Amino acid sequence: MIEQLKSELAERAQAGLKRKRRLLQSPQAAHLVADDQHLLSFASNDYLGLANHPDLILAFQQAAQLAGVGGGASHLITGHHQFHHEAEQALAGFVGSPSGLLFSTGYMANMGVVAALLGRNDAIFADKLNHASLNDAAVLSRAELNRYAHQDLSQLEQMLAASNAPRKLVIVDAVFSMDGDIAPVPELLALCEKYDAYFLLDDAHGFGVLGRQGRGILSHFNVISPRIIYMATLGKAAGVAGAFVAGDETIIEYLIQSANTYIYTTASPPALAAALVTAVNVMKKDEARHQHLRDLIAYFKENLSLKKWQLMPSDTAIQPIVVGSNEATLGLSNYLLALGVLVPAIRPPTVPKNTARLRISLSAAHTLDDVKLLIQHLHEAEQVLAT
């Protein structure tokens, strides 16, 4: 087996698909140190710049003094700390849901929710560009998986209308992580209501960014429904770690009793939960942070003018530039890296073949000058590399 794995790794490297971890040697920030190089980073999902926020650091330190470092046990034994309880209440209230439940990661949240709520005789309806965690969750549940073309609501309706499954669940990224576009949530919810389906929204890249005070996709569209099962990760805009699911009280209680990825794992450190409560409070009071991010997004879109590469249509902090081939995309990423600017090259299978791209992540931690410098280097790079 080892020889086969070596061969597969060599093939991956030959195709320009082998990934390498960078060694971060500083706090997560717009300006960081990685592999001994000082870099201006557009590679992180720290959309609000909270990962190194002094209030969150202080909350974590004080909570660790009170609660220790480790969770020590699963939530259903002795691992469910008061700090976890307070974070669940704060997060659910922030997004306007009656109840919430913390998970250790977003991947575990999606796996736990889908596998707990659906089984062999049920049906899942999924956008083809959904995150890998939603795809894996669908397979784990053993429900019938129906995948519709990206944002194709007509095809989704045909699938829903043809289904006789006792339980139907539409699962969708709220903001698609590699394209930056936003799911048409009101229209999707209307289809769920029409065909008696429930609706799992993965708001990993919308929570903290979209809506009033960063309350997420539900606030962005001003929608509320007991059919919505809302999931958001907490290591991106919230700046900490983990994920939470929010929704109807009965669904949350059922997940506590039935979601394996919740039941059979040690609770996350209580100090993380305390930091999350502080993150919510910062998002509520520091609206200038959200406005600054919106201003940077607008400036970037208005002032970047590319002729051979394609800036995808996105109103979010994710601004992808499609280059095409793996080699050309890696070349562009390396060109920027040599100038001290870190923008990751995203290649298949993360994105479809021949759509390799730079994934630019803007953050409230960036200054306008940071974004101006990025634009300048991209314009220069197109002149040098795309001729």
Which residues are part of the catalytic machinery? 177, 205, 236
Quote the CA–CA distance of 119 and 98 in Å, as a whole number.
26
Kindly state the helix (H) or strand (E) to which residue 253 belongs, with its residue range. helix 249-258
Ligand-binding site membership of 329 (annotated): no
Alpha carbon distances (Å) from 265 to 52, 114, 116, 261? 27, 17, 15, 6
DSSP 110: H
Residue 112 counted as an annotated binding residue: no
The answer on whether 177 is annotated among ligand-binding residues is: yes
Residue showing tokens 């926020």: 53
Please report where in the chains the tokens 């200054």 appear, as a residue: 367
Measured at the alpha carbon of residue 255, what is the angle toward residues 241 and 182, in degrees to the nearest 5?
55
CA atoms within 13 A on the CB side of 98: 12
23 neighbors 324 (Cβ within 8 angstroms): no
Question: Is 215 labeled as ligand-binding?
Answer: no
How distant is the alpha carbon of residue 6 from its chain centre? 32
| Cis, bond preceding 349 (omega within 30 deg of 0) | yes
Residue appearing with tokens 């970047």: 304
268 is in an annotated binding site: no
Comparing CA positions, the residue from 199, 164, 205 lying closest to residue 185 is 199
Please check if 290 is assigned to a binding site.
no
CA distances from 372 to 48, 220, 324 (A): 19, 28, 24
- Does 367 carry a binding-site annotation? no
Handedness of CA 244, 248, 254, 256 (dihedral sign): positive
State how far the Cα of 88 lies from the Cα of 200, in Å rounded to an integer: 18
DSSP assignment of 44-57 equals ---TTS-TT-HHHH
Q: Tell whether 107 is in a known binding site.
A: yes
Spell out where the chain has E strands.
31-34, 37-41, 99-103, 123-127, 144-148, 168-173, 198-202, 228-233, 243-247, 310-311, 318-324, 341-342, 345-346, 356-361
Binding-site residue positions for pyridoxal 5'-phosphate: 106-107, 177, 205, 233
Binding-site residue positions: 19, 106-107, 131, 177, 205, 233, 350
Binding-site residue positions for substrate: 19, 131, 350
